[in-house]
A = this chain, B = another copy of it.
C-alpha cells in the first residue's frame, strides 16, 4: 500500500466515529475499520470508483460505497468518470463501454432490480463491475459489494448474477397517526407525530432508506392496517408524498393502509358499498390525487371485515367486490391492492379454519392487481404454527406471506429471537398444492403459480428507539427478512454470520458463539412458551407473558388461551383432526393424513392438531406430560446458556452494546422461567402429575403468578 495524500484526511475524518457511543443506531451499516491485513488487501485491489452515468440513485450508491470504503479501510476511493485497473465501476448496462462484459441473456435474467457483480479484465489487471438495467439494480449491487467488504470476503474474482425472488418486498408499519405503534416495542412511530426537528427526522428517514436498500426491501406501508380514514385526507397524502420523496432515490416505494369506510367518514357518502357508483368514483379520485403527488405510489393495504374493521361484507358484498373496486382505482397508475386474509369472527368454527373458508370461494375472482396477504400461520404470529392452508390452495389468485418482525408473541423487544428460522420453516413447508415440492415459497414467489406481481411483507419492528428495534438483536430480524425476501434460499446461518460481522466484529470467536445463540434462539422461545404445538397462551390482549388460566368476562372466547390449549383433566391440545374441528381437511394429501394421525403428526405440531391425554405415550417413550415438562425446561436452559455464551464474549465488542444485550438476556431468562413455571404449574392442576424429578423445581407459586398484572406502559 502506497502512502497518499488521503491519509491525514482519513485519520481526521474517522476520529468522531471512534469516540461515538455504540448505541446501535448505525444498524449493520457501521463501516468500522477492518483488521489491518484485510483492509490493506482491499486497498491493494481497489483504488478508484468510476461512475458511468448520472442520477440521484447513482450518487447515493457512490456516496455509500465511498463512505464504506473509507471507514472499512481507512482510505478514500478516488472517483473518476473513466475506469481502469483497480476500479469499481458502477454502470447502467446500456453504457457501451461495459457492454462487452456480459451477454444479453445475463442482462435479461437480472431484470428490473437485479445486477451483475463481476471481476472484469482491464489493462494488465482487473476491475470490479456492477452493472444493471436500472439504477436500482446498481444500488443493490453496490450494497452487495459493500457487504462483501464489510464481512471480509475476497473480492478478486467476483461473479454474481442476482435478481430478487419476490417483486414486492415490503415492510408493514403498524403505526398510528398519533405516533403510537400497535404491537411496537421500540418506541413511537418514526412516521407520525414526530416532534419537529426536520433535520434529525430527515436523517432518520435517509438511514431507514439506506438500511432497506442494503437488504433489498423496496416498499413500505407507513400506517397501521387498523387504518384511520384520516390518512386519505389531503393533509396526510401530502405527508406521505414528503416521505416518498425521501425514500424514492433508494428505490423504496410508499404504500398506504386504508379504511374501507373512508368515503363515509371523510366525505359523508351515504355508503361505502364497493358497487356503489359514488363510492367507486370517490376511490378513483383518491387514487388520482395520490398519484398526482406520488407518481410511484405502491398501493393500498387493506384489513377489511377483520377484528371490527369495516369492509364490503357490511354492505352484503364480498372480499372480491371490495378488493377489485380498489384495484380498479389503482390500476391505471400501476398500483396494487394487498388484501389481508386475516379474518375470523366469533363462531363455532375453529378460528384456524376461517380465513380459508372465507377466501377459497373467491379464488380466481380477484383482479390481477390484487394480492391476498396471508399471515404465515392460520392463527396469529405464534412462536410456531403450521403454514396457512391458503398457501398452495389459492392457485388462481396471488397470495403473499405476511411475517411479523415485531415480537408480539415472542417476548416483545426483550427476548433474543432470531426469526429467520421461523420464516425459513414456512418458506420450505411443502403444501403439496401442485404435488410434491410445492413449497410455500414456490406457491408465493411466482414460480409455481403465475402472477403479475409476487409479493411478501413483514410487520416492522422499528420505532424511535436509538437502536431502532429496542433489542440490538431485533435488528437481525429486519436484516434477515430483507435478505430472505430477496432470496428465500439463502442459508440462515450465513445470514446470521453476515449480520454479526457487519454489526459487531469479524472476530471468529465472537461470530461462532453469537451465530450459535441466534440459530438456537427461536426454538428456545417455542420451548419455554408454547412447545409441542401449543399456542396463544399469552396474556389477554397485551400478549405479554404467560396467562394460560386467563379468563376475561365478556371477552371473545377465541382471544382466550383456554380456547387454544383446551387443557382439562382429560388432556391438552386442540383437536383439529377429523374427530375435531377438521382443520386438517384444509391441507392437501398427504399432509392432511399426516396431520390427522397423531402417530404421524410431527411432535412440534402435535397439540395444534390433537387433544391428547396427559399420559399419552410420545415417540420419545415419555408421557405427554413429561415431554411437555422437558420442553419447557429445555427452553429455560437455553436462555441460561445464551447468557453464559454472551458473558464469555466480554471485552470483544464495545461495552455499551455488550451490556445492553447482557441485560436483555437476563430479562429473557427471568421471563423464560416465568413462562415455564406458569404453564407447567397451571397445566399440572389438570394433569395431576409430578414434574419429572431430574428437573429443577419451579421457583414460582401459581397463585403468585396469577396475580401478576401486566402494565403496557412499561413496554411502550
Q: Is the CB of A697 within 8 A of B643?
A: yes
Q: Which residues of B contact A673 (CB under 8 A)?
A: 699
Q: Is the CB of A690 within 8 A of B644?
A: no
Considering only residues 671-716 of chain A, those with a C-beta below 8 Å from chain B are 673, 690-691, 693-699, 701
Q: Is the CB of B699 within 8 A of A666?
A: yes
Q: Assuming the A-B contacts A650-B690, A690-B650, are A644 and B699 also in contact, with contact meaning beta carbons closer than 8 angstroms in the complex? A: no
Bound: A673/B699 CA distance, A: 10
Closest to A648 in B: B693
Closest to A698 in B: B666
Bound: A701/B695 CA distance, A: 25
Q: Which residues of B contact A150 (CB under 8 A)?
A: none
Closest to A642 in B: B697
Q: Which residues of B contact A697 (CB under 8 A)?
A: 640, 643-644, 647, 665-666, 669
Q: How large is the interface on A (under 10, 10 to 19, 20 to 34, 35 or more residues)?
A: 20 to 34
Q: Does A670 contact B (CB under 8 A)?
A: yes
Bound: A691/B650 CA distance, A: 11
Bound: A696/B697 CA distance, A: 16
Q: Is the CB of A640 within 8 A of B696?
A: yes
Bound: A697/B673 CA distance, A: 13
Q: Which residues of B contact A696 (CB under 8 A)?
A: 640, 643-644
Q: Is the CB of A647 within 8 A of B699?
A: no
Q: Which residues of B contact A695 (CB under 8 A)?
A: 644
Residue from A648, A697, A701 with most neighbouring chain B CB atoms (10 Å): A697
Q: Which residues of B contact A648 (CB under 8 A)?
A: 693
Give A638 Cβ to nearest chain B Cβ, in Å: 12
Residue from A673, A696, A698, A701 with most neighbouring chain B CB atoms (10 Å): A696
Q: Which residues of B contact A690 (CB under 8 A)?
A: 647, 650
Q: Which residues of B contact A698 (CB under 8 A)?
A: 666
Give A707 Cβ to nearest chain B Cβ, in Å: 16
Bound: A52/B702 CA distance, A: 60
Q: Which residues of B contact A669 (CB under 8 A)?
A: 697, 699
Bound: A694/B643 CA distance, A: 10
Bound: A648/B696 CA distance, A: 12
Q: Which residues of B contact A670 (CB under 8 A)?
A: 699
Closest to A701 in B: B666
Bound: A21/B316 CA distance, A: 68
Give A555 Cβ to nearest chain B Cβ, in Å: 33
Bound: A701/B100 CA distance, A: 65
Closest to A666 in B: B697
Bound: A691/B699 CA distance, A: 22
Bound: A665/B698 CA distance, A: 11
Q: Which residues of B contact A640 (CB under 8 A)?
A: 696-697
Interface string of A507-540 (1 = CB under 8 A from B): 0000000000000000000000000000000000
Closest to A665 in B: B697
Bound: A669/B677 CA distance, A: 15
Interface string of A319-355 (1 = CB under 8 A from B): 0000000000000000000000000000000000000
Bound: A693/B643 CA distance, A: 9
Q: Which residues of B contact A666 (CB under 8 A)?
A: 697-699, 701
Q: Assuming the A-B contacts A666-B699, A669-B699, A699-B673, are A694 and B644 also in contact, with contact meaning beta carbons closer than 8 angstroms in the complex? A: yes
Q: Which residues of B contact A643 (CB under 8 A)?
A: 696-697
Give A205 Cβ to nearest chain B Cβ, in Å: 37
Q: Which residues of B contact A645 (CB under 8 A)?
A: 693
Bound: A650/B693 CA distance, A: 11
Give A528 Cβ to nearest chain B Cβ, in Å: 14
Bound: A536/B74 CA distance, A: 57
Q: Which residues of B contact A694 (CB under 8 A)?
A: 644
Interface string of A32-55 (1 = CB under 8 A from B): 000000000000000000000000
List 25 A–B pairs whose Cβ atoms lie within 8 Å, in order of A's numbering: A640-B696, A640-B697, A643-B696, A643-B697, A644-B693, A644-B694, A644-B695, A644-B696, A644-B697, A645-B693, A647-B690, A647-B691, A647-B693, A647-B697, A648-B693, A650-B690, A665-B697, A666-B697, A666-B698, A666-B699, A666-B701, A669-B697, A669-B699, A670-B699, A673-B699
Apart from A647-B691, A666-B701, 10 more pairs, CB < 8 Å? A640-B696, A643-B696, A644-B693, A644-B695, A644-B696, A645-B693, A647-B693, A647-B697, A666-B697, A669-B697
Residue ranges of A at the interface with B (Cβ–Cβ < 8 Å): 640, 643-645, 647-648, 650, 665-666, 669-670, 673, 690-691, 693-699, 701
Closest 6 CB pairs of A and B: A643-B697, A648-B693, A644-B693, A640-B696, A670-B699, A647-B693
